[in-house]
Every structure is written in structure tokens, then in C-alpha cells.
Amino acid sequence: MTNYEALGLRPVINAYATVTKYGGSLMPAEVLDAMNAAANNFIDLAGLQRAVGARIAELTRNEAAYVTSGAAAGVLLAAAACVLRKSPGAEKTFPQLDGLPHEAIVQRHHRNGYDFGVQAIGMRFTEIEPDLDSLRAAINERTACIFWFAGTMNTPEDIPLPQLIKVAAAQDIPVIVDAAAQLPPVDNLWRYTQLGAALALFSGGKDLRGPQPTGLMLGRSELIERIRPISSPNHGLGRPLKVGKEEMMGLLAAVERYLGLDHAARETYCEDCVALWLAALNPLAGVRAERAFPNEANQPLPWCRVTVDAAALGRSAHEIVAAFLAQEPAIAVSPLNETQFHLNPMTLNPGEEIIVRDACLRVLGGG
Ligand SMILES: *Cc1c(COP(=O)(O)O)cnc(C)c1O
């Protein structure tokens, strides 16, 4: 049997988040079944991408949809689509875009490790302060698009998305929302585009629990049509970001499942996990646990913040995080700083919350 143990590796219980570092998320049976079925037959790939996109668009109340090889790939392709919209023919010159409109406006504090694809295709970021005057001053004839990132980078100082979209729309500039981890809530699948974003990008392998190397691009057909000719099975800028037939069908199954999911029951499960951990942790000396909401990625789910008295325990929170990983089975928890970490229920299989609780007692109980 080909498995992790045969390679001498230990599987990890994920009480961290849908982080790529530990494999993102687990695919449910519906997704695996769809991928298995897809693996049995050859199919015209461009036609499949079109049909899967049409179905996902319909399900998510969007004009069009496209399966990318992850949200980060979506960032790159969305940027490319915005260049091509103003400069048809640029597909031959990427990443040499001098002289063409190739500026992407972004709020300075939204810059993040996933935005590299924008520069990789030859675009330039124009960083602005988070206010409408800076936005208006940054717009010029070289502007190709505006990026708005959602997640840990958001602050109360953000230009509110509806206001940003209004300014952009008046100048016919597409707004791209990278909402990779903004599920739940499920209605974000249509909320950003209904607000007027030209494209909204999601990870297929985070809470959607589709294949890890997939992502969703939702929104304007005008932009998505520009991506097809430069993407697999066609040759061009997008060809290295290939998505297989199994991944396309797996992501479709994941979207269908997610739309039918009992999200309220899921929330209750997460609340119950947090309550279980609080009851176990708070009696321990040098340990304080509290329910925190929303979680780190701004998803409307609770998680458990643990603060330790590092001096009393003789260990920093980072050392405690490492101790969880050294448990049998290994448990990944979410590190924060020298005195705090989080336990996240959203990536657990039901039942694993007990394993996490028992590990907490071993690691922090001083026994
Ligand atoms: C996770 C994340 C990504 C990357 O998503 P992948 O699907 O792993 O490529 C991009 N942007 C943001 C804001 C994210 O949180």
C-alpha cells in the first residue's frame, strides 16, 4: 500500500486551519467519487472546463466561472485577463508590458505573499494609502485593474469595498477580489460579484474541500474568456497552471456539496469543540483559554485562544506548539506569539476534538 507511513511520515491532525503547509483540507467522499469517475475516461479538456464553469456559474449565481490551479494562480490569471482586456495581443509579450496599461492598484497594507503572480506576469503594483483620494489620484491611463485582498490583511482602515468598486466602475476599471479563504459564509460565492467586483477568487482546497490544487474564478465572462486561449490545453502564459479533468470534476462536486451543507450544524459543532476545550483547559494552572470570534482568516466560526504563563510552565507557546506536533498522533495547532496559540475546530474530523482535548491535558496538564 502506498501511504504516508510507508515513507516514514506521520499523518497530522489539523487543529490549525486550512493551511497549505499541512495539506489544506480533506476531500469528502463526494469529491473523491467525482474524481474517481472522471479518471475513467478521456474527455475534451477545453470543453470540460467550459461545461464545469457554466455549471459552477449557475450554482453560484455568477455570469461565468473558471477552474484555476488555486487562488494564487487565479490572482495571476485575473491580472493577465485585465492586461489583455485593454491590450489584446499582449499574450505574445508577457512579461514585457512596457508601454501597455499594466498597473495594478492595491492598498499598501493589502500586499501579501500571494500577490507575486501579478508581478510575475510583468505588471506593476501601484500601492496606495487606504483612502479614496489616494485611490482617485492613482488611477491613470496605465491602470489595468484594482486588487482587493480579503483575509488577515483587512483592517478597519480599509477602503470599504463598495466604495472602491464605485470609484473603479466610474472609470471602467475591473476590481479583482482575492477571497481565497472567505468561505464560510457560503454566500460570499456571489456576494463580491454582486457588489460589482469583476472577478472573485477562491481556493478550491480550503473550506470548499475540493482538490488542493484548485481554485475558483467567478465573475465576468468578458474577462474569463480572455484566459481560455492562454491556458491549458492551449499554450501560453497560463499553460504551466494546468488543471486536470479529475480536479475540475472534483471541484464541481465540492461546490455542489458546499451549497447543500448544513452550515448551522457545522457552526454548532465548532462551538461545541471550543466549549469542550475551554472546560478542559481553564482549570489548568498557568493556562487561560477563551472563545475567539471570528477566526484568524475572518471566517465566521469560533476558535479557542490559549494564553499560557510561559514562566510558570517553563515553556513558550512556540515550544508548546512543537510539543503538540510531537504527540502521537501529531497535532498541528495555530501559533500566534510567545504566549498564545489557537486551537481551530474547522479542519477537524468529528471525534478528533477529543484527541485534541486529551493532548491538551498531556501537554499542558503538567502530568
Ligand atoms: C490561501 C490564500 C491564497 C492562496 O490560495 P491557494 O488556493 O492555496 O493558491 C491566496 N490569497 C489569499 C488571501 C489566501 O488566504
Model confidence over 208-224: pLDDT tens digits? 999 999 999 999 999 99
Biggest alpha carbon distance in the chain?
A: 68
Mutate which of 76, 111, 114 for ligand 1? The one with the most ligand atoms within 8 Å of its CB, which is 114
Alpha carbon of 114 to ligand 1 centroid (Å) = 6
Alpha carbon of 288 to ligand 1 centroid (Å) = 31
Model confidence over 53-93: pLDDT tens digits? 999 999 999 999 999 999 999 999 999 999 999 999 999 99
What's the CA gap between 313 and 309, in Å, rounded? 6
Listed in sequence order, the residues at least 6 apart from 112 whose beta carbon sits closer than 8 Å to its beta carbon are: 149, 151, 153
What's the CA gap between 17 and 26, in Å, rounded? 12
Work out the percent of the chain whose per-residue pLDDT is above 70: 99
3-class DSSP string for the chain: CCCCHHHCCCCEEEECCCCHHHCCCCCCHHHHHHHHHHCCCCCCHHHHHHHHHHHHHHHCCCCEEEEECCHHHHHHHHHHHHHHHHCCCHHHCCCCCCCCCCEEEEEHHHCCCCCHHHHHCCCEEEEECCCHHHHHHHCCCCEEEEEEECCCCCCCCCCCHHHHHHHHHHCCCCEEEECCCCCCCCCHHHHHHHHCCCEEEEECCCCCCCCCCCEEEEECHHHHHHHHHHCCCCCCCCHHHCCCHHHHHHHHHHHHHHHHCCHHHHHHHHHHHHHHHHHHHCCCCCEEEEEECCCCCCCCCCEEEEEECHHHHCCCHHHHHHHHHCCCCEEEEEECCCCEEEECCCCCCCCHHHHHHHHHHHHHCCC
Confidence of residue 1 (pLDDT cuts 50, 70, 90): confident
Rounded to 5 degrees, φ, ψ at 71 are: -65, -35
Rounded to 5 degrees, φ, ψ at 356 are: -65, -45
**Has residue 107 got a pLDDT over 90?**
yes
Residue nearest to atom 2 of ligand 1 (CA): 180
pTM > 0.85: yes
Question: Cell triple for residue 293?
Answer: 470570534
Q: Which atom of ligand 1 is the closest one to the Cα of 202?
A: 7
Q: Packing angle between helix 245-260 and helix 45-59, nearest 10 degrees?
A: 10
Q: Which atom of ligand 1 is the closest one to the Cα of 73?
A: 9
Count of Cβ atoms closer than 10 Å to residue 212 Cβ = 20
Residue nearest to atom 1 of ligand 1 (CA): 180
Burial status of residue 319 (CB atoms within 10 A of its CB: 0-12, 13-18, 19 or more): middle
What's the CA gap between 202 and 113, in Å, rounded? 16
Ligand 1 site residues (CB inside 6 A) read 20, 70-72, 114, 149, 151, 178, 180-181, 203, 205, 215
Mutate which of 149, 178, 188, 203 for ligand 1? The one with the most ligand atoms within 8 Å of its CB, which is 203
Cα 19 to chain center, whole Å?
Answer: 9
Question: The dihedral of CA 239, 215, 56, 245: what is its sign?
Answer: positive
What's the CA gap between 49 and 317, in Å, rounded? 46
Model confidence over 248-295: pLDDT tens digits? 999 999 999 999 999 999 999 999 999 999 999 999 999 999 999 999
Alpha carbon of 20 to ligand 1 centroid (Å) = 9
Question: The dihedral of CA 133, 134, 137, 138: what is its sign?
Answer: negative
**Has residue 366 got a pLDDT over 80?**
no
Measured in Å, how far apart are the chain's first and last C-alpha atoms?
38
Task: For residue 184, say if its preceding peptide bond is cis, omega within 30 degrees of 0.
Answer: yes
Contact 221/66 with Cβ under 8 angstroms? no
**Has residue 346 got a pLDDT over 70?**
yes
Alpha carbon of 228 to ligand 1 centroid (Å) = 21
Residue nearest to atom 12 of ligand 1 (CA): 180
Residue nearest to atom 14 of ligand 1 (CA): 180
Contact 86/123 with Cβ under 8 angstroms? no
Confidence of residue 157 (pLDDT cuts 50, 70, 90): very high
Mutate which of 109, 116, 147, 178 for ligand 1? The one with the most ligand atoms within 8 Å of its CB, which is 178
Q: Which atom of ligand 1 is the closest one to the Cα of 297?
A: 15
